[in-house]
Amino acid sequence: MTAVAVGVYAGGKADTGAKPAAAPAVVEATSLTGAGATFPAVLYTKWFSEYAKLTKVEINYQGIGSGGGIKSISDQTVDFGASDGIMSADQLAAAKGGALLHIPMTMGGVVATYNIPELAGKDALKFTSDTLSGMFYGDITKWNDPKLVADNPSLASIDKPITIVHRSDGSGTSNIWTSYLSAVNTKWAKEIGSGNSVNWPIGLGGKGNEGVAGNVKQTPYTVGYVELAYAKQNSLPYALLKNSAGNFIAATTDSVSLAAQGVTLPDDMKIMLVNSSNPQAYPVSAFTWLLVYQAQTDAGKAATLTRMVWWALHTGQSYCSGLDYAPLPADAVKKAEVLLKSVTINGKPALPADVK
């Protein structure tokens, strides 16, 4: 593997917001591998492309779902994982490389996308927490159910069964979605719960955002869930959701970002933000995290990895809004910096000294 010295890259010095080191201490790797969440995959693809232009560092990221990302980093087959769900205690204990940090990278929303031919091109549907959870549980089975019609008069004439579409793979997007359903519906919380994978009571399974979206597009009278950026970039219709303050909110980068305002963030940044109390927040919003071993074993990769993550936490945030992700709030960036600075190699900080 080709390598370069700290502060100097294969293509010369690069402006990544850091001053060149006077005396390189380690030889940095010029490639990294990562795998996991499809939720931030659009943004990560952009980040890693731009970072390669700056530094000549090639980052191969595979969007295989959060479950796959957790397994890959736990088995140490990648340099970093990615997940939209917080790892369980059992998953953390099974990680072969010791303590895994959850470093937040951006925020996104998960939206309810649907296919009702008669309403194509019309105003977005409106779902409450009761109607949304009722559909996904199987308590609301027809599009002209009075509870749905109460907020959507256009559904009164749609006498068709509702078909649910959900993820079939281990998915952080599912973790966010089911965390929301658990937060707003006690029956769901008790009988189904939340996680990357759950025992869905009804519905068709699709792999990845593309699998869910494909099933919804191909099958009339369906409703499923996908990441906001994916929905917008694929011109999928998606519903307004009623938040805890009683307002119907469209998912936007601003309404997603508001879900983190007024929240006390823990130092380990393991927090779900669904069902925010902010009156203007979209209710199915969340952080997405990179999973990074705190104690690294390869000095070159550790320097490259931490340098790249620092760039993503700062310069990289400027790409978020244009791709329909919400940039991290300032307090989240500060806590992420602390986590990144805790990554070590041979007991010493892995983040190169020239990164400030």
User: 46-64: per-residue pLDDT in tens?
Assistant: 999 999 999 999 999 999 9
Q: What is the pLDDT of residue 17?
A: 55
Q: What is the pLDDT of residue 38?
A: 87
CATH among 1.10.3720.10, 3.40.50.2300, 3.30.300.20, 3.40.190.10 for 109-265+273-285: 3.40.190.10
User: 1-21: per-residue pLDDT in tens?
Assistant: 334 433 433 333 445 555 554
Q: Degrees (nearest 5) of the Cα angle 121, 322, 260?
A: 95
Structure token digits, residue 46:
């952009």
Name residues of the chain where pLDDT drops below 50.
1-14, 21-23
Identical fold, 3-107+286-349 and 109-265+273-285: yes
CB atoms within 10 A of CB 105: 25
What are the DSSP E strand ranges found in 13-156? 27-29, 31-36, 58-63, 80-83, 100-115, 126-127
Q: What is the pLDDT of residue 234?
A: 87
Q: What is the pLDDT of residue 25?
A: 62
Architecture of the CATH domain 3-107+286-349: 3-Layer(aba) Sandwich (3.40)
Q: What is the pLDDT of residue 99?
A: 97
| Spatial strand order in the sheet of 248-249 | 126-127, 240-242, 248-249
Domain residue ranges in the chain: 3-107+286-349, 109-265+273-285
